[in-house]
A and B are shown apart, each in its own frame.
Chain A
Amino acid sequence: MSSAAAVPLAAPRVQPVVSVSGLRVELGGRAVLGGVDFLIENRELVAVLGPNGAGKSTLLKVILGLVRPSLGRVLVLGQPAGRANANIGYVPQFRAIEAETTLRARDVIRFGLDGNRWGPGWPSRERERRIDAVLDEVDGRDLARAAMGELSGGERQRLLIAQALLSDPRLLLLDEPLASLDLAREQEIISLIRRIIQSRNVAVLFVTHDVNPLLDAIDRVLYLANGKAAIGRPEEIITGETLSWLYGAPVEVVRVAGRLFVAGAQT
């Protein structure tokens, strides 16, 4: 005991990017999340999984400060979660916006830079340079003049990630970035995210439905079900034991040809 006390603490721990403790969220009187704890470290790629209605998008909104928790503490880089946090880049779930065909991709990306500022925003070379820089990061320079509505799902996702990068965030929250993409496009987006993590020193939390194509690419899984959460390596979390605990009902995980299948729970 005494010798243990004498050992100096390990090198000061790097501050976690997201720190959630005792989080409880109620929406319309129903507890969507109840007692959720986890930490996200810098440069981590974490997939948020769980059945529909498990609170995946809600969790992102709590981190963004858009939904207030009824209990618990949510810190982003040590600061309580709040709106307008420039440290967070956010790509909401895909929703078709009818009028999007009237904007060029470049106009949409610009929102990420100064969409929240008052005034008309006079033309500026510096602004164009910064937009070009993030476009290059996602290989989207040639898409900039296209109308947003003409782009494919994968192109669109790349550009929206570029938009999220414009505030130089330390945390990226991506809600279903892989929805309705084919496998090749999915891999493209994941390797883009990997590249961004390396070059920009960010942590990424993304909601997805099917983790199988990503098992090798992601660091950890945050599995939400029944208001509870479990976080860890995919092989630790996607197990019959952990998922049975989460769902509160017997769940089996079958591994077939390197893919995981969950049986007994509606996902």
Chain B
Amino acid sequence: MTGLRELLAYSFMVNALVTGSAVAVASAAAGYFMVCRQATFAGHALPNIGFAGAAGAVLLGVEPAYGLFAVTLLSAVGMGLFARDLRERDVTVGVIMTFTLGLGFLFLALYSGYAARVYGILFGSILGISAEAARRSVIAAVASLAVLAFLYRPLLFSTFDPELARARGVPVRTLSVAFLALLGVIVSISVQLMGALLLFTLMVGPAATATRIVKGPVAAIALSAGLGLLYVWAGILVAAMSGTLPVSFCIATLSFLVYLPVRLFLGHPAGGREHRRGGDVQRTNHGATA
């Protein structure tokens, strides 16, 4: 494919593909836990919160990536600490998200400079990822995967059975905060490519698709990472070849086009299956028996 070879001659393309691969694998692995923990709203909120940090950094004349990283990490830890259970978690996350989005808008309004930088944070870009940023992404992604591997068993345990995990001595709360902090790191390195608004698709799409196709955590994480890589590479190449299509749009669309038929025709991880093999029946309470 001569087109590909020509494209790879551009250093921005190489940087984009390197960053994209790192981001795809890390967010697909973390995305599996996010989907299983039903914490996808946090995955949606974190990049939006990060946007405020980036906008604030631009206003202060600091590198946007630093502001994004600091604010995302702080709010991830805050979410983990304040949201004690599933019911209040979404409310907490939503309140933090809308507040920071408001801040981000304020920073934008105060900023009178070149708005394209902020636009890039919102929607992502394959241009402008420096070799240094690509290198940072790879290091952060590898570190995130290493941490995830270290946390793997207790995180999985506390994801599926927090009560039992607690009884067995797993630090469930601490793990929950650590996991959100890890999401914060992955979000920070992903935003430059995917943009805050469309990043959700890369964090949740592959994992949500994978859990409907295969059972078991290892298989699901592997498939999720494979799908993530596929979307990112295909998305970047299509975007680069077309010259007009934004990369985050291409990746989001691919992710959606694969998820849709899988969602419609395969599997049912939502637990709504009425299939029962044992013939158990729901017994009404026996009233006043002892």
Contacts and interface: CB of A to CB of B under 8 A. Distances in A.
B36 A150 contact: no
A154 B149 CA distance: 34
Contacts of A84: 167-169
Given A83-B169, A115-B156, A267-B289, A150 B275 contact: yes
B149 A120 contact: yes
Contacts of B167: 64-66, 83-84, 88, 90, 92
A153 B269 contact: no
B165 A152 contact: no
A263 interface: yes
A102 B220 contact: yes
A238 interface: yes
Contacts of B211: 99, 102
B84 interface: no
Nearest to A212: B289
Interface stretch (B12-20, B121-129, B232-240, B277-285): B277-285
A160 to B, nearest CB: 9
Contacts, number: 158
Nearest to A145: B215
Interface in B256-279: 267-271, 273, 275-279
Contacts of A108: 160-161
A185 B269 contact: no
Interface residues of A, number: 57
Interface in A37-51: 49
Contacts of B280: 152-154, 180-182, 185
Interface in A55-105: 64-66, 83-84, 88, 90-92, 95-104
Given A111-B164, A152-B276, A209 B286 contact: yes
B150 interface: yes
Contacts of B136: none
B168 A116 contact: yes
Interface of A: 49, 64-66, 83-84, 88, 90-92, 95-104, 107-108, 111, 114-121, 147, 149-155, 167, 180-182, 185, 209-212, 238, 253, 259-263, 265, 267
Interface of B: 35-38, 149-154, 156-157, 159-161, 163-170, 211, 215-217, 220, 267-271, 273, 275-283, 285-286, 288-290
Given A99-B159, A99-B269, A107-B217, 13 more contacts: A65-B167, A92-B161, A99-B37, A101-B269, A102-B220, A111-B164, A115-B153, A115-B157, A119-B149, A149-B271, A181-B283, A209-B285, A210-B289
